[in-house]
Amino acid sequence: MRPMTSTTASKGIVAIVGVGPNLGRSIARKFAHEGYTVAILARDLGRLSRFADEIAREEKAQVFAIRIDCSDAKSVREAFEGVHSLGFVEVLVYNACPPVSWHTPKFTDISLDSFEKSLAVSAVGAFHCAQQVLPGMVERGKGTILFTGSSASVNGIGGYCELSCGKFALRALSQCLAREFQPLGIHVAHIIPDGVIGAPRSSQRSGGEQSMDSSMDPDAIAQTYWHIHVQDRSAWTQEIDLRSSNQRF
C-alpha cells in the first residue's frame, strides 16, 4: 500500500476497484475533490501509485494505492485488509473489467480458462469486494455500492461472449444486493456507460470549445457517480444508462 498524505480533513473512505487512466481515475479525483479519503485498487501498482500521487497533489487529498487481482479471492481479502486499516468504507465503486480486444475470436475458439477469467473479473470479483464492505455498512446503517456495467450488461454482443456473460452477471448481482440491502440503508446502483469512454476532455482541449466526437468524457461520467452517492434516500437510483449526445443510435 502506497499512501499519499495531506493535511485536508476527509469525510470517509471510498474504495475504487479497477482504476485506469480514464473512468477510474476520474471517479477517484471527483471523490477526492469532495473531501473523501480515496483508496484506489488495480493490478499495476506502479501506475496506480502515479495516479495516487497526481490526485493527492491536485486535490490536496489523502489517496492510497493498493494492489489487487480481482480474479483472486485471496488477493481481494488482502487488499481490503489494507483498505479497512484506513477506516470505515462508506463507498465501494467496482469498476474492474477484463481486457477487451477489437479482434474478437470465434465462439468456438474461446478457451474455458479465458471465459472463466472474464467472469471472475467482471462478476466474481465484485461479489468478493461487496462481501468485504457490506458487514460494516450494515452495522452503521449507511453506505453506497456502485457497479460499472456496459452496453454488454443488457445486450448480448456477437463476438463478446466473455464480456457479456460477466457483465450480465454483474447486473444481476447489483439488483439482488439492492433488493436485500437498500432497506438497511445501503444504496446499490448499476451504472451503464453506453459507448466508448475516451480521455478527459480537460486534457484534450483548451478554452471552451466542445468536442464533436462520440466518445464519453470520464470526468462527466464521474459526476454521475457522485450524484448517485449523495441522492436523498427517498428517491434512489438503482440503474442508469449514459451515452454521448453525439452517439448515433
Number of domains into which the chain is organized = 1
Regarding pTM above 0.85, the answer is yes
Structural domain includes residue 249: no
Cell numbers describing residue 93 = 465503486
CATH number at residue 26: 3.40.50.720
* Least confident range of 118-122, 144-148, 151-155, 204-208: 204-208
Structural domain includes residue 182: yes
CA distance 91 to 102: 32
Structural domain of 228 = 2-242
Q: State residue 120 phi and psi, 5-degree precision.
A: -65, -40
Cell numbers describing residue 212 = 464533436
Structural domain includes residue 238: yes
Structural domain includes residue 35: yes
Structural domain includes residue 191: yes
Predicted pLDDT at 2? 52
Helix (H) or strand (E) holding 225: helix 218-229
Cell numbers describing residue 114 = 479465458
Report the pLDDT averaged over residues 214-233. 95
| pLDDT > 70? residue 177 | yes
Predicted pLDDT at 7? 37
Predicted pLDDT at 103? 74
Structural domain includes residue 13: yes
CA atoms within 13 A on the CB side of 24: 22
Structural domain includes residue 215: yes
Predicted pLDDT at 178? 98
Predicted pLDDT at 223? 97
Structural domain includes residue 248: no
48-63 per-position pLDDT tens digit: 999 999 999 999 999 9
Predicted pLDDT at 249? 55
| pLDDT > 80? residue 144 | yes
